[in-house]
Amino acid sequence: MTNNNGTINQHCDVIVVGAGMAGLYLLHKLRSAGYSAIALETGDDVGGTWYWNRYPGARCDIESLDYSYSFDPDLEKEWQWSERYATQPEILRYLQFVADRYDLRRDIRFSTLVKQANWDEGAAQWNVTTATGDTFTGQYYVMATGCLSLPKEPDVPGVERFSGATYFTNAWPHEGVDFTGKRVAVIGTGSSGIQCIPLIAEQASQITVFQRTANYAAPANNGPVRAEHQQKLQADRDAYREAARGSRAGVPLPRGEEPFFTVEPEERERRLEAGFALGDLLTISSSFSDLVTNPEANNAVQEFFRNKVRAKISDPQTAEDLCAKDFPLFTKRLCLETNYFETFNLPHSKLVNLRRTPIKSITETGIDSTEESMEFDAIVFATGFDAMTGAIVAVDIRGCDGVELKDVWAEGPKSYLGLNVHGFPNFFTITGPGSPSVLSNMAVSIEQHVNWITTTLNHLRKEGLQTIEATYAAQEGWVTHVNDYADLTLYPVANSWYMGANVPGKPRVFLPYIGGVDTYRQVCNDVVEQDYLGFELSGSSGSHCNDGVVRFVKPDVQMVLDLIASLEQAPLESLPLEKARQQMEANTANRAPGPEVGEISDGTLPGPFCDLDYRLYRPTTEGPHSVVVYFHGGGWVLGHASSDDPFCRYLCVESNVLVISVNYRHAPEAPFPAAVDDAYAAVNWIAINAESLGGKSGSLAVAGWSAGGNLATVVCQMSQKQGGPKISGQLLVAPVTDCDFSTTSFSDNAEGYGLTRNLMQWFWNNYCAVSERNDPRASPLRAESLAGLPPAMVITAELDPLRDEGNAYAAAMQAAGVSVKHIQAPGQIHTSLTAVDTVNSANGVRKAMSDAVRIFSNYH
Ligand code: NAP
């Protein structure tokens, strides 16, 4: 409808912003599903990023066969790529072809800039306004605006003064630019700069590149589409595309399985050379499992890249300047280059290292650095984008109660799955923050999001529902999960656009999701299968919500669980005793060893019935040290003095204490109270003999994990009752404190998180007759009084059957006036708390443990 003032007012089911790769497919998909939709596009044609970025040398950096739509096999047959990495004009032609083939243009309004989008709660619809005052209303509003579409402001002083020509790679003139005979400056050496510099150098009389941060780049080795690649796809296209959807990055490559340093040096070199020669972004990073998590491995491959640069550049200073050194490899997108480095061997090229000689100002005629004044006819800015969030918040988007998205995202974007935002019903982002997006083949991620959104709209329509909105809890849970994953990697170290660090003032938050396309797809499917977990769905007949967090296990804990599951081992409790002990032993053999300590010595001490083995861990620092008597876990049935070796080393080093891990008699051979008697006797003996062991006399704490935590606190109770020895503190890690199996944590975490309900029952059955379990020496939570116990640090894990009894014990001690610090570790399981150097997401809790032990050692 046209209003009196000439503006347009139109209603449709779905309003889409953007007619790039995402917007086009979304339009097609919506239309096929029977929705009316309109796409509003700023450009005067389709193409999105491929419409704007027309700079010389612009190409995709994922092979074109993969960087294509896969939703229609006929489309794939009709379009042939001429090159392995197609140029921008060819990709634009492809997207134009798609728009025409599916007759999409009739639902696209070009040259239309969206300014505002308001959620009208009463009408349950979005009201969208454009720069020219046209208005659109729709039940759903989708931002398909791309991750790298809003150019970053050129933050170089004096930029407005230059009287020559200025160009931006991300808004390149359609008619192209002829640099023949021109003196050209290029600022920026990211993917865009690295692609355009060699081609500009072919024309320019002089090219000067202003480099702030050198980048890692591999040769593209572009050429015709690789025959073997084509054959693979054609042999079974469905399988090929499915493999891409189920891969880490949206390209069918296996995940690297071996850590870098477990591979022989010659084989490492061979893999790196092969990956480098292939000319592909993902092969090198997939060659090993730990390149983005292990700084040493990353550093070794960095050096490989630097040596490649050094070998190419004739001037040693220029070579060093071009070597990336400021950030770990892959934590900014690896660039693919063609003749980039060689350009700096040309006589008319020059590199200005802005770290040494920063730009003072752009002037009327050129650029002044701190060292010289340079004159130019043209300046090219290849300075990047306000990535992932910039284009979204550039529109004034207001959800419930008029709250603006920009404000909600002021401290960094919050989104559920990168798809929807709490407080913004019926609003979707395609490849939004918190989804794999820029860390994946965008074609695959776009299709997955579009399909998910369309499936969701169909579901709402079928169920007679009108709105969908992420809950606060689900969104918070997802944001935590996204950050947890990023924190396991080296990515947060870099000042990259992934971190928002390239735009002054932008909050420093990791923007995409690094768990992988495969993992992410599973998450989105799980959400649907669990009745749209974490979404509130409403209609005229009311609303319903299965609220919850879709991934609450910490990612590295999940990796450990997956690894254990892959071993397909029989449950310990189903095995004969000896076999169970062997299996546990075998499982601990391959653990990360834990930190180096000053000295480890094994010995025995007299127990009440027999000698008891112990292992002593001494710090490197000069003694005497405070002493911590440690009791290992293993359900009173398994384990020995060195079975918690990595954790004992950790405590020794981090708390700077002498750790003495004492073995005790195990059940069922020596049932309750044998272990208790041994533990108490050992503490008494160590208290008396502390000095001869190199410990401080009178400064003794106890610690234990699981059943060992049970023994540690039982010893505290006994020493309290029997008048000694003096214990300065107790560290109880996921302790067994009671024999009650009816707690919520026992039912919620009965299976699937390492320690199971059945295993715990087996431990108890081996250890203690039912008639004796009320004895506080077995179930310390049942003690008449806990008053007067030493200060305690109690750590419980959220996903542990023992969680509630640990929590109850901490609360009971606190109620009895004991000084207690209690942490319930979210997303952790029974075994992960002590998994030093394996489950790094528990590092914070472990630090709290070691701090507590250090503090205990000062109480004497
Ligand atoms: P970018 O990676 O953010 O690179 C911008 C460059 O400009 C960096 O070298 C940056 O230096 C420099 N820069 C920014 N502000 C500056 C200033 N004030 N003074 C001096 N230097 C400044 O941007 P991009 O190259 O456009 O690439 C962005 C992303 O787009 C890529 O990572 C990639 O994902 C995608 N892309 C892909 C292709 C492809 O091959 N398909 C091509 C182009 C872009 P610092 O590093 O020091 O900030």
Ligand 1 pocket residue status of 502, Cβ below 6 Å:
yes
Ligand 1 pocket residue status of 193, Cβ below 6 Å:
yes
Q: Contact, 281 vs 218, CB < 8 A?
A: yes
Ligand 1 pocket residue status of 148, Cβ below 6 Å:
yes
Ligand 1 pocket residue status of 85, Cβ below 6 Å:
no
Ligand 1 atom, smallest distance to 384 CA: 23
Q: What residue's CA is closest to ligand 1, atom 48? A: 502
Mean pLDDT of 175-179: 98
Ligand 1 pocket residue status of 188, Cβ below 6 Å:
yes
Q: What residue's CA is closest to ligand 1, atom 40? A: 61
| DSSP letter assigned to residue 512 | S
Q: What residue's CA is closest to ligand 1, atom 24? A: 384
Question: Given this model, what pLDDT does residue 700 score?
Answer: 97
Q: What residue's CA is closest to ligand 1, atom 3? A: 384
Ligand 1 pocket residue status of 212, Cβ below 6 Å:
yes
pLDDT category at 589 given cuts 50, 70, 90 is confident
pLDDT tens digits, residue range 789-807?
999 999 999 999 999 999 9
Ligand 1 pocket residue status of 156, Cβ below 6 Å:
yes
Mean pLDDT of 417-429: 98
Ligand 1 pocket residue status of 831, Cβ below 6 Å:
no
Residue to mutate, 491, 502, 503, ligand 1, most ligand atoms under 8 Å from C-beta: 502
Ligand 1 atom, smallest distance to 335 CA: 40
Sheet order of strands, 373-375 included: 359-362, 366-369, 373-375
Q: What percent of the chain has pLDDT over 90?
A: 97
- CA 485 to CA 558: how far, in whole Å? 11
Question: Given this model, what pLDDT does residue 213 score?
Answer: 98
CB-based contacts of 74: which residues, under 8 Å, 6+ apart? none
Ligand 1 atom, smallest distance to 189 CA: 9
Question: Given this model, what pLDDT does residue 860 score?
Answer: 53
Q: Shortest CA distance to 627 belongs to which of 677, 688, 714? A: 688
Q: Is the pLDDT of residue 858 over 80?
A: no
Ligand 1 atom, smallest distance to 193 CA: 25
Ligand 1 atom, smallest distance to 60 CA: 41
Residue 725, preceding peptide bond in cis (omega within 30° of 0): yes
pLDDT tens digits, residue range 359-414?
999 999 999 999 999 999 999 999 999 999 999 999 999 999 999 999 999 999 99
Question: Helix or strand or coil: residue 184?
Answer: strand
Question: Given this model, what pLDDT does residue 3 score?
Answer: 82
The helix (run of H) or strand (run of E) holding residue 137 is: strand 135-143
- CA 506 to CA 402: how far, in whole Å? 23
pLDDT tens digits, residue range 747-793?
999 999 999 999 999 999 999 999 999 999 999 999 999 999 999 99
H runs (alpha helix) in 6-48:
21-32
Q: What residue's CA is closest to ligand 1, atom 37? A: 191
CA distances from 433 to 381, 418, 551 (A): 26, 5, 17
Ligand 1 pocket residue status of 382, Cβ below 6 Å:
yes
Q: What residue's CA is closest to ligand 1, atom 2? A: 190
Mean pLDDT of 813-822: 98
- CA 315 to CA 325: how far, in whole Å? 18
Residue to mutate, 383, 442, 493, ligand 1, most ligand atoms under 8 Å from C-beta: 383
Mean pLDDT of 347-368: 98
Ligand 1 pocket residue status of 61, Cβ below 6 Å:
yes
**How many CA atoms, within 13 angstroms, populate the side-chain half-sphere of residue 221?**
11
| Distance from residue 339's CA to the centre of ligand 1 (Å) | 18
Ligand 1 atom, smallest distance to 497 CA: 3
| Distance from residue 193's CA to the centre of ligand 1 (Å) | 7
Q: State both tokens at 573.
A: 């409790």
pLDDT tens digits, residue range 13-64?
999 999 999 999 999 999 999 999 999 999 999 999 999 999 999 999 999 9
The CB density around residue 218, as the number of other CB atoms within 10 Å, is 21
| Distance from residue 215's CA to the centre of ligand 1 (Å) | 10
Q: What residue's CA is closest to ligand 1, atom 12? A: 188
The helix (run of H) or strand (run of E) holding residue 653 is: helix 645-655
- CA 817 to CA 566: how far, in whole Å? 46
Ligand 1 atom, smallest distance to 354 CA: 20
pLDDT category at 4 given cuts 50, 70, 90 is confident
Q: Shortest CA distance to 125 belongs to which of 115, 133, 114, 117? A: 117
Ligand 1 atom, smallest distance to 213 CA: 47
Ligand 1 atom, smallest distance to 156 CA: 18
Mean pLDDT of 809-828: 98
| Distance from residue 43's CA to the centre of ligand 1 (Å) | 22
Question: Which residue type does 127 have?
Answer: N
| Distance from residue 192's CA to the centre of ligand 1 (Å) | 6
Ligand 1 pocket residue status of 497, Cβ below 6 Å:
yes
| Distance from residue 191's CA to the centre of ligand 1 (Å) | 6
Specify the long-range contacts of residues 229-235, CB closer than 8 Å, at least 24 apart. Answer: 229/63, 229/65, 229/84, 230/65, 233/65
pLDDT tens digits, residue range 215-251?
999 999 999 999 999 999 999 999 999 999 999 999 9
| Distance from residue 225's CA to the centre of ligand 1 (Å) | 27
Q: What residue's CA is closest to ligand 1, atom 6? A: 188
Q: State both tokens at 56.
A: 């010389």
Ligand 1 pocket residue status of 192, Cβ below 6 Å:
yes
| Distance from residue 463's CA to the centre of ligand 1 (Å) | 46
Ligand 1 pocket residue status of 800, Cβ below 6 Å:
no
Ligand 1 pocket residue status of 190, Cβ below 6 Å:
yes
| Distance from residue 169's CA to the centre of ligand 1 (Å) | 10
Ligand 1 pocket residue status of 189, Cβ below 6 Å:
yes
Q: What residue's CA is closest to ligand 1, atom 45? A: 213
Q: Is the pLDDT of residue 318 over 90?
A: yes
Ligand 1 atom, smallest distance to 336 CA: 40
Ligand 1 pocket residue status of 786, Cβ below 6 Å:
no
CA distances from 360 to 71, 186, 206, 355, 374 (A): 51, 16, 21, 12, 11
Residue to mutate, 63, 66, 91, 192, ligand 1, most ligand atoms under 8 Å from C-beta: 192
Q: Is the pLDDT of residue 2 over 90?
A: no
Phi/psi at 105 (5° precision): -60, -30
Ligand 1 pocket residue status of 155, Cβ below 6 Å:
yes
Q: What is the mean pLDDT of the chain?
A: 97
Q: Contact, 206 vs 396, CB < 8 A?
A: no
pTM value?
0.94
Instruction: Cite the beta strand spans of 663-755 per DSSP E.
Output: 695-705, 730-733
pLDDT tens digits, residue range 606-626?
999 999 999 999 999 999 999
| Distance from residue 844's CA to the centre of ligand 1 (Å) | 34
Residue to mutate, 194, 212, 351, ligand 1, most ligand atoms under 8 Å from C-beta: 212
Ligand 1 pocket residue status of 191, Cβ below 6 Å:
yes
Q: Contact, 804 vs 706, CB < 8 A?
A: no
pLDDT tens digits, residue range 97-144?
999 999 999 999 999 999 999 999 999 999 999 999 999 999 999 999
